[in-house]
Structure 1
């Protein structure tokens, strides 16, 4: 999996600086879609300490989230929402493509309608 959204700080001076990613002209709708996508990742792991925003000092959580391809800290949506941090095109395109595919997919309702209990067929 590919890591994104970890920033330079006192104990990590060699990570990217979030100030270099600020883009106040980023389309508001696309920015909101990406922030929502980031919030909807599944929990990959939890850490013992809280992350602090490099801009405003807000505590940003202690989780690492994923979509199965990318990994990011749960506070990354805060950077996108509140500080107009624009993530690299490769990630944005991946997220938008994933959401497009999800929106176009068919729903299989028959499988669920056929379920009658939690038991496997051989246990009934």
Structure 2
């Protein structure tokens, strides 16, 4: 923008009508008026992987460290209904369920040219963290 223009409307008429937000009414920043029904509950949006680990509700629990039939550490795939890949690191969306670990892709079907990039798992939240913060309630 050019400054010190002789015209009161400014160059190109940009200063004819100012545009800025106008505050209407008082706002109490110490006591916001947010109803509890409009704030989603953390507990309602959790998915239990097992008795020890939890993921957020819109994710899929996938085992990250497995010995035999037991999972010792869980991860969260950022997709609902995902396929957990055998590399214990990636996952695929439900509509591309075939993991191609070699090239880090997910296929729509075996030998299909249609593919998407595999997603990465993030570590699941240990339940003791949630119970100490009040996010998860024990039934005991």
Q: Give the alignment's TM-score, normalised by structure 1.
A: 0.19
TM-score computed with the length of structure 2 as normaliser: 0.18
Q: Which entry has the higher C-alpha Rg, 1 or 2?
A: 2
| Structure of higher RCO (CA pairs closer than 8 Å, 6+ residues apart) | 1
Determine which structure has the larger strand proportion and give its number. 2
